[in-house]
Structure 1
Amino acid sequence: MASKSNVSVLERGVPAKMWTRLAATVALLLLWRGRTLLVRRALKWPPRLYGTVALALALGKVVLLVALLGSIGFDWRLFSKLFAAGGSCALLMHVVTTPFDVVRTKMQLDPERYPTPGSCLSRILVEDGPLMLLQGFGATAVGYFLHGGLKYAAYEQFRTLTMLLTRTPSGQSLSSLHFVVSATAAELIASTALCPLEAVRIRMVNDRGFAANLRQGLAKIWSEGMHSMYKGWMPLIVKQCPYTLAQFWSYEWLLALLRAHWIGQRFPLDAMLPLPLERRLSLIAGVLSGLVAAVASQPGDTILSRINKHRDKFLDSMAMEDSEAPGNLRAIDSSKLSHARSVDLSTLTTDRDHKLAEPSEISVETDRGLWVLPKLRFGGFSLRLVTRQWWSAIAQSWDRMWKIMKELGPRGLFIGFIPRCAQVVLLVSGQFFFYAEIKAFFGIPETLGRGATHRH
């Protein structure tokens, strides 16, 4: 039994220390956001120290985020084990299903050339050879290891926290709130890490000459800027959030239903069953939840493939001169940005004549007007400019999504559904099966479908 000092505040529920903990959490949050005037003014360093200061602040934010999550009972040791288990099972199953991925991506990108799964497979084998079925293998392996690790680990941690906050007893069925909050929060984190690698994979499948390997693909995507890396973030969220929600919700609900049938009403859901029976029930629930997840996420998957098909035309209008010194702002022709409503020229000008800002400063609009903030740079790029480009890419992806939906129609959104359905069923059932096995190897008790938590 764990000592009292090792149990989180949410479990102990000690009122005497609650205000202290709340104040510490708020202070950590404010420091992590860096919104105080003192921090803003302290950033006026000499230009030669911008990279060092920016790196120190980034590391400081990571430390503060770890402390912030730890203050509300987040278990980082357990998170690392769940990350390894989730990443390993996702990596294994996505490697096995890479050929399915290539076939359905080809069908989504060019439905006239590849109308059916059979014709698509035969044309790939004849024209490109068998190795084409493994195209994008590196991006798939690395991307979905990160994605799976973050998704499974974050889901279990958020699930435990929601149960503690709502005081849900262990061994009881969970409400919809637990699944929606936990799955959505976990997928937002995982998809942000996956998005650049998924863009590389789609480009490599669509154009075999795009890059020879993952390193070259990432270098090309990086050179094209944040717009190319995260233009598919919103479609990826539209695809992955329903996928993850349907995956975990249907799996836990079906597994709890199957376990209740075998256990009976007199015993709690987390009662032990013979191991072979446990694995059979998990496999049945995984196959059925895979069908639900495939249907829920198919429209977003088609949109994501279409939106990442070609190099972003917006990037050509934002061409910058790479020969300039790292400390200088790169000039952008404002006439080429007339169609990009989300681009804010105020970050590149300091007065009405649109003169370039000083190398060490960048203009920021606030409620009090226009003032100058030191520009933090890692070598040759501005953190603030990159952040604004990231938000710009996300805003523009909304317009692209609606255009693609109108162009394809409801039926067109389900292009390539048959190979993808086979892929997702194999993925989900296999992931849950191996996830339970790897967790058992790490000595982590199973909680999914049992209404249980990882309480110490």
Structure 2
Amino acid sequence: MSTQKKVQYPFWYGGASSMAACLVTHPLDLAKVRLQTASKRGQSLGSMVYQIITKEGFFKIYSGLTASLLRQGTYSTVRFGVYEFMKDSYVEKYQTAPSTMALLPMSMIAGGLGGLVGNPSDVVNIRMQNDSTLPMDQRRNYRNAFDGIIRIVREENVSSLFRGLGPNLIRGVLMTASQVVTYDIAKNFLVGTFGLDASKKSTHFSSSLLAGLVATTVCSPADVVKTRIMNAAGGQSPVEVLTTALKTEGPAFMFRGWLPSFIRLGPHTIVTFLVLEQLRKFKIGM
């Protein structure tokens, strides 16, 4: 058992797993962003997906995929990598598995660093996903994620790549703390209390489903606020964006799109951890 704990898995496992999940759940993420920024209320996730396909074309449900992949490749690589590194360092130093109270600050640090590194690609991601909803003269028409980053720097400034950084850092901290820590706790609980096999996919599925539910609930307010700020026109400050939203929609706007968020984040979390566990099992790239 102690030998297993000392295995040093590649830093990129978390990012690769999240990118694989992104390919599966991107259409749901696109619909979620559209719902969070839409002025019309009451629209469902299904109707939003249907509207995108019928009005814009089937392949438009993958609008902004390059930015979404780049985001996972930066944000998730850092947050998963740092979190696992800190856990391994803890085990090496204290010769015991970290407690929940130790895991929480580790995950918060990892999530904050991930949010910082992934912010530029997140700005491009949200803009590309929401571009088709803007009037023709306001559309950015980024060709891909890298084109978007270059144009933002040229046409606006470097600081625009870090729009919504505050909410994004908060979301990164909340997401990592609620997602990866919940997964670890749930997995240990299922194995220790119910005697489930830690190597079985059913155990990974159950643990990741619970992690997705917790993460969606905890992260919803920060996610909506972040999306609104990043998608706002260049002249609007974060305070103006929030003030306008509160006046016109009320505080409930922070939980807009909770169900589509869970429908998207649940499968994303499940696929991420299933792929991650398989990478560990077969020691890909080691």
Give the TM-score band, short-chain normalised: 0.7 to 0.9
Higher relative contact order (CA 8 A, sep 6+): 2
Which structure 2 residue ranges, 5 or more long, are not aligned? 1-5, 133-138
More helix by share: 2
Which structure 1 residue ranges, 5 or more long, are not aligned? 1-74, 265-272, 315-395, 446-456
CA shift for structure 1 position 409: 3.5
Matched, 1:109 2:37: yes
CA shift for structure 1 position 192: 1.3
- Which residue is 2:173 aligned to? 241
Q: How does 1:3-402 map to 2 (within 5 A)?
A: 78=8, 81-112=9-40, 115-164=43-92, 167=94, 169-170=96-97, 174-208=98-132, 209-210=139-140, 211-223=142-154, 224-263=156-195, 273=197, 275=199, 278-313=200-235, 397=238, 399=239
Q: One-letter code of the match for 1:218?
A: I
- Which residue is 1:411 aligned to? 252
* Cα 1:401–1:164 shift into 2, 3 Å: farther
Query: In 2, distance between residues paired with 1:298 and 1:237?
Result: 14
Q: One-letter code of the match for 1:431?
A: T
Q: CA RMSD in A?
A: 2.6
- Write the deviation string for residues 86-121 of structure 1: whole angstroms up to 9, x where unpaired: 111110001211100111111111141772223322
Identity of aligned residues (%): 19
* Cα 1:196–1:443 shift into 2, 3 Å: closer
Query: In 2, distance between residues paired with 1:114 and 1:227?
Result: 34
Query: In 1, distance between residues paired with 2:64 and 2:121?
Result: 9
Query: In 1, distance between residues paired with 2:69 and 2:161?
Result: 18
Query: In 2, distance between residues paired with 1:259 and 1:274?
Result: 6
CA shift for structure 1 position 405: 6.7
Name which one, 1 or 2, has greater alpha-carbon Rg: 1
8 Å CA contact 2:121, 2:149 repeated in 1: yes
Q: If the length of structure 1 is used for normalisation, what is the TM-score?
A: 0.55
- Write the deviation string for residues 314-339 of structure 1: whole angstroms up to 9, x where unpaired: 7xxxxxxxxxxxxxxxxxxxxxxxxx
8 Å CA contact 1:87, 1:149 repeated in 2: yes
Q: If the length of structure 2 is used for normalisation, what is the TM-score?
A: 0.85
Query: In 2, distance between residues paired with 1:196 and 1:164?
Result: 34
Query: In 2, distance between residues paired with 1:212 and 1:308?
Result: 18
Please point out which of 237, 255, 264 is paired with 1:423. 264
8 Å CA contact 2:232, 2:241 repeated in 1: no
Query: In 1, distance between residues paired with 2:12 and 2:152?
Result: 27
CA shift for structure 1 position 83: 2.4
8 Å CA contact 1:93, 1:431 repeated in 2: yes
CA shift for structure 1 position 175: 2.5
Q: One-letter code of the match for 1:434?
A: V
- Which residue is 2:135 aligned to? none
CA shift for structure 1 position 164: 4.9
8 Å CA contact 2:27, 2:49 repeated in 1: no
